[in-house]
Amino acid sequence: MKTSLLKVLLAASLAVLASLFLPAASAQTAAKDKIAVVVSTLNNPWFVVLGETAKARAVELGYEATIFDSQNDTAKEAANFENIIAGGYQAILFNPTDANGSIASVLKAKAAGIPVFCIDREINATNAATSQMLSDSYSGCVKLGQYFVKTVGKEGEYAELLGIVGDNNTWNRSKGFHSVVDRYPGLKMVAQQSGEFDRAKGLEVMESILQAHPNIKAVFCGNDAMAMGAYQALVTANKADVVKVFGFDGADDVVKLIAEGKIAATGMQFPKLMARQAAEYADSYVKGKRDFAQKIPVPVELVTQQNVSKYGDYGKK
């Protein structure tokens, strides 16, 4: 009798112990759901912040997350999507390389049952991505254009460095800027060239513009990487004090130069906010939510010497 009671107690203890340890053990061995973060390029700090933030938020939410670099190449991007579809990922956080050229990849993922959440840049389709979180580049550049006229004046020559010509953001920014500046006939755009959103290319293009047009008063750049390149070219040419540089993105190095009075202004795009929101949307999708707005504009804020103290670390302090 005593032995059987001992056996029962032993069995009960083992059962309690097992109930305590087994769930933890099984959770450790179960494979985590996977989220892919596809970024147009990692050759630009702004996109690195975008990708790393999306990845970090996905990891916080309990996913295994991997960043794929498309190197500004739709073919490379398509190959990334093929690997992601074959790799059994649950969602894709996507920063497209081309508004039209990236649609096919998104449709492939959709056909494979993988939701795609676009970040910052859009694709020209409303039936492919699950949702698109887009910087309101146009409105941001309207504000930049107004500030440009206020600080440069209503007369003088200026240049524009465009981004990648196939990207909608390039034209949304350019059109927003010109919707204001073109109203002042005294402001003459003497050069408009693509710097492909790249710092080295921005430097190279700015050098050639300065040779052809030495009297420009300002340069409007479609992103901060090109603004940094343009500023570097101006420093080399001893013109940094006479030519005002306007960027767009809110990159940390440009925000610091605005605080030092070396760059006139930029538009803060909040990459961390967009990246985190995209990861949270993907998590909601995995958990069953299906009703997402197709396009969610994210406002851009003007950063100048007057308010630069409020900004930093790719957002508001």
* Residues near other proteins, by CB under 8 A: 99, 122, 124-126, 133-134, 136, 138-139, 142, 145-146, 168, 171-172, 175-176, 179-180, 183, 273-274, 277, 293-299
Residue 3, classified by CB atoms within 10 Å of its CB into exposed (0-12), middle (13-18) or buried (19+), is exposed
Nearest to 36 by CA among 1, 75, 81, 5: 81
Q: Which is nearer to other proteins, 85 or 99 (CB)?
A: 99
Q: Whole-number minimum distance, CB 32 to other proteins, in Å? A: 28
Contacts of 31 (CB under 8 A, 6+ apart): 64
Nearest to 144 by CA among 45, 263, 239: 263
Q: Which is nearer to other proteins, 146 or 232 (CB)?
A: 146
For residue 68, the SS3 value is strand
8 A C-beta contact, residue 74 and residue 263: no
Contacts of 97 (CB under 8 A, 6+ apart): 40, 41, 70, 72, 73, 74, 77, 164, 166, 167
83-90: long-range contacts (C-beta < 8 A, 24 or more apart)? 84/36, 84/38, 84/109, 84/114, 85/109, 85/112, 85/114, 87/34, 87/36, 88/34, 89/34, 89/35, 89/36, 89/114, 90/33, 90/34, 90/35, 90/63, 90/114, 90/282, 90/286
Q: Which is nearer to other proteins, 90 or 269 (CB)?
A: 269
Q: Which is nearer to other proteins, 57 or 199 (CB)?
A: 57
Q: Which is nearer to other proteins, 68 or 220 (CB)?
A: 220
Contacts of 43 (CB under 8 A, 6+ apart): 71, 72, 198
Q: Whole-number minimum distance, CB 223 to other proteins, in Å? A: 17
Q: Which is nearer to other proteins, 50 or 142 (CB)?
A: 142
Q: Whole-number minimum distance, CB 10 to other proteins, in Å? A: 59
Q: Whole-number minimum distance, CB 316 to other proteins, in Å? A: 10
Q: Whole-number minimum distance, CB 189 to other proteins, in Å? A: 17
Q: Which is nearer to other proteins, 5 or 186 (CB)?
A: 186
8 A C-beta contact, residue 46 and residue 271: yes
Q: Whole-number minimum distance, CB 281 to other proteins, in Å? A: 11
Q: Please name the amino acid found at residue 287.
A: K
Q: Whole-number minimum distance, CB 109 to other proteins, in Å? A: 18
Q: Whole-number minimum distance, CB 146 to other proteins, in Å? A: 6
Q: Which is nearer to other proteins, 80 or 277 (CB)?
A: 277
